[in-house]
Amino acid sequence: MVKENSVRKVALVTGGARRIGEAVCRALARSGYSIALHYGTSGAAAEQTAGRISKDGGVCATFACDLVDGHATGDLVPAVLEEFGRLDVLVNNASIFEKSSLESGSLESWDRHFAVNFKAPYILMRSFARCAKEGNIINILDTHIVRNKTANAAYLLSKKTLAELTKMAAVEFAPRVRVNAVAPGLILPPVSQKSGYLERLAKQIPLQRRGNVENIAHAVLFLLENDYVTGQVIFEDGGEHLHG
């Protein structure tokens, strides 16, 4: 239990145990935020990340929640408020990514994608807007939202929908809450892919190299610091979206 605070700002990051989410948590902690680190199944990694943040002088508490479960997701913001007494930033980073074309995908896979990648962020955004006097929401999208490739149709459409929600929420939640997004490109390969996969793809994009998790964390901090920006998407993708 952390039970301190109301002095430091608090950031809730979903899927914060590993990979991009971990980098965002650690960067926010270095910037002085207390971290509410949400995780699904990666309990051990979540505790490890929380431990690293504490070792660096930061504050971090972990929160387990299956984002497929809308009721449990609705309890997440209240649990963070109970722990820290305030909430200033929400980063919707957690996501699933399964292969499914328009013709071949199972309806169960569509339900899972929309539950985790769209409905859960919406539930959290709504809770955040209801409880926060002011603050920031940042949704993590994907550079492919500007394209219409259907190899990952359910994933892509869930992210396109979240991009639209980002703009609508930026209007409705203003002026108290700014709502922005980061659209990563070639950052980390899916867990199932071998190394070299992203390097091969990177040859085809304008900057001809992959990015890294720190690029995404940097974009999140940029959006938090620039208080005249709302409804914006930063494409952190080496120019890949330009090939749209």
Ligand X SMILES: NC(=O)c1ccc[n+]([C@@H]2O[C@H](COP(=O)([O-])OP(=O)(O)OC[C@H]3O[C@@H](n4cnc5c(N)ncnc54)[C@H](OP(=O)(O)O)[C@@H]3O)[C@@H](O)[C@H]2O)c1
- In the complex, what is the shortest distance from the CB of residue 64 to ligand X, in angstroms, rounded to a whole number? 8
DSSP-assigned states of every residue in 103-159: TT--HHHHHHHIIIIIIHHHHHHHHHHHH-SSEEEEEE--GGGGS---TBHHHHHHH
User: Binding to ligand X (CB under 6 A): which residues in 25-84?
Assistant: 39-42, 66-68
Using CB under 6 A, which of 2, 79, 96, 221 touches ligand X?
A: 96
Query: CA–CA distance from 157 to each of 206, 217, 233 (Å)?
Result: 25, 24, 16
| 181 contacts ligand X (rule: CB under 6 A) | no
Does residue 142 bind ligand X (CB under 6 A)? yes
d(CA 216, CA 193): 21
Closer by beta carbon to ligand X, 159 or else 178: 159
Tell me the one-letter amino acid at 205. Answer: I
Residue 137 CB, shortest distance to ligand X, in Å, is 14
**Considering the complex, what minimum distance in angstroms separates the CB of residue 54 from ligand X?**
19
Q: CA 74, CA 87: separation in Å to the nearest integer? A: 15
| Secondary structure class of 80 (helix, strand, coil) | helix
Q: Closer to ligand X at the Cβ: 63 or 84?
A: 63
Minimum distance of ligand X from residue 133's CB (angstroms): 27
Peptide bond connecting 175 to the previous residue in cis, omega within 30 degrees of 0 = yes
d(CA 167, CA 176): 15
Within 8 A by CB and 6+ apart from 151, the residues are 99, 101
Shortest distance in whole angstroms from residue 66 CB to ligand X: 5
Counting Cα atoms < 13 Å in the Cβ hemisphere of 35 gives 35
Minimum distance from CB of 92 to ligand X (Å)? 8
**Distance in Å, CB of 166 to ligand X, minimum:** 13
In the bound state with ligand X, the residue whose beta carbon lies nearer, of 66 and 176, is 66
- By CB under 6 A, residue 20 contacts ligand X: yes
Picking from 168, 161, 158, the residue whose alpha carbon sits closest to that of residue 129 is 168
Among 2, 47, 85, 97, binds ligand X (CB under 6 A): 97
Query: For ligand X, which is the closer residue by CB, 176 or 190?
Result: 190
The smaller minimum CB distance to ligand X, of residues 15 and 105, is found at 15
Nearer to ligand X, 4 or 199 (CB): 199
- Residues interacting with ligand X, by CB under 6 A? 15, 17-21, 39-42, 66-68, 93-97, 116, 140, 142, 184, 186-188
